[in-house]
């Protein structure tokens, strides 16, 4: 079973992918997380993508597809693709890659939320290097600025700063939103009303999984 989580940055797809992967043992492939790990390690790949990510633009298909292909080749379990594909070209490439392993995209979950909500959420987002993410308005850490899980200092992602957020939103509208009709016509598209509390969003995901037979 291969799921694609699609939606604006800040629509909650990463948070829900983490929850689903913990509760249902899905592999969680987040291209954004992978790039951030490479940047933190200071690897060659990290150095290549750092300034692109900080500017809010998309990393080139060539780089993204290489990273994904390496992962897919060793993955046998049910998988959530989070933040990938982000263009129609990437979606076509994903289909070709999966086909090699007799797999396919089984369902696309579109996290529907409006632009104003996304801007609000991204400006309230605080991140930790351990991977945990907080919203200081709705789910703040127990101690301000400090991660509940590991005690490290929280930070604002470079690309969550206001001018970069507006660039990311433009990029989403131009390059990623065409995926909505691309997947809708394939009959594998499901809308998740993502402007609800986390547990309500999660139960909508479970309902889709039941529908597609997981």
Q: Which residues are part of the catalytic machinery?
A: 13, 86, 125, 157, 168
C-beta of 37 vs 106, nearer to ligand AMP: 37
Residues 152-191 that bind ligand AMP (CB under 6 A): 159, 168
CB of 32 to ligand AMP, least distance (A): 2
Please report whether residue 64 would count as binding ligand AMP according to CB under 6 A: yes
Q: Which of 12, 20, 38, 83 binds ligand AMP (CB under 6 A)?
A: 83
Residues 24-63 that bind ligand AMP (CB under 6 A): 31-32, 35, 52-53, 56-59
CB of 182 to ligand AMP, least distance (A): 14
Q: Which residue minimizes CB distance to ligand AMP?
A: 32
Please report whether residue 81 would count as binding ligand AMP according to CB under 6 A: no
CA distance 165 to 156: 12
Where do runs of H (alpha helix) occur along the chain?
A: 13-24, 31-41, 44-55, 61-73, 88-100, 115-123, 162-171, 178-184, 198-211
Q: Which of 9, 91, 190, 204 binds ligand AMP (CB under 6 A)?
A: 9
CB of 155 to ligand AMP, least distance (A): 14
State the CB neighbour count (10 A cutoff) for residue 23. 11
CA distance 144 to 140: 7
Per-residue binding string, ligand AMP, 97-126, x by CB under 6 A, is: ------------------------------
The edge-to-edge listing of strands for the beta sheet with 2-7 is 27-30, 79-82, 2-7, 107-112, 189-193
Write the CA distances from 134 to 22, 53, 149, integer angstroms: 18, 20, 11
- In DSSP notation, 80-140 reads EEES---SHHHHHHHHHHHHHTT----EEEEEE--HHHHHHHHHTEEE-TTS-EEETTTB-
Q: Is there a cis peptide before residue 37, judged by omega within 30 degrees of 0? A: no
C-beta of 70 vs 203, nearer to ligand AMP: 70
Q: Interface with ligand AMP by CB under 6 A: which residues?
A: 9, 31-32, 35, 52-53, 56-59, 64, 83-84, 86, 90, 159, 168
């Amino acid at each position: 079973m291969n799921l694609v989580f699609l939606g604006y940055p800040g629509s909650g797809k990463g948070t829900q992918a983490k929850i689903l992967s913990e509760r249902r043992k899905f592999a969680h492939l987040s291209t954004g997380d992978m790039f951030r790990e490479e940047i933190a390690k200071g690897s060659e790949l990290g150095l290549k993508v750092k300034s692109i990510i900080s500017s809010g633009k998309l990393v080139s298909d060539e780089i993204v597809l290489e990273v994904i292909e390496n992962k897919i080749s060793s993955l046998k379990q049910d998988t959530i693709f989070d933040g990938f594909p982000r263009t129609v070209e990437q979606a076509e490439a994903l289909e070709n890659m999966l086909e090699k392993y007799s797999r396919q995209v089984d369902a696309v979950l579109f996290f529907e939320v409006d632009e104003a909500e996304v801007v609000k959420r991204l400006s309230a987002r605080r991140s930790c290097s351990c991977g945990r993410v907080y919203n200081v308005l709705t789910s703040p850490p127990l101690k301000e600025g400090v991660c509940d899980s590991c005690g490290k200092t929280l930070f604002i992602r470079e690309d969550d700063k206001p001018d970069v957020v507006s660039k990311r939103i433009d990029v989403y509208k131009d390059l990623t939103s065409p995926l909505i009709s691309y997947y809708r016509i394939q009959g594998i598209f499901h809308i998740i009303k993502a402007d609800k509390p986390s547990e309500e969003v999660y139960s909508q995901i479970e309902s889709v999984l039941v529908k597609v037979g997981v």
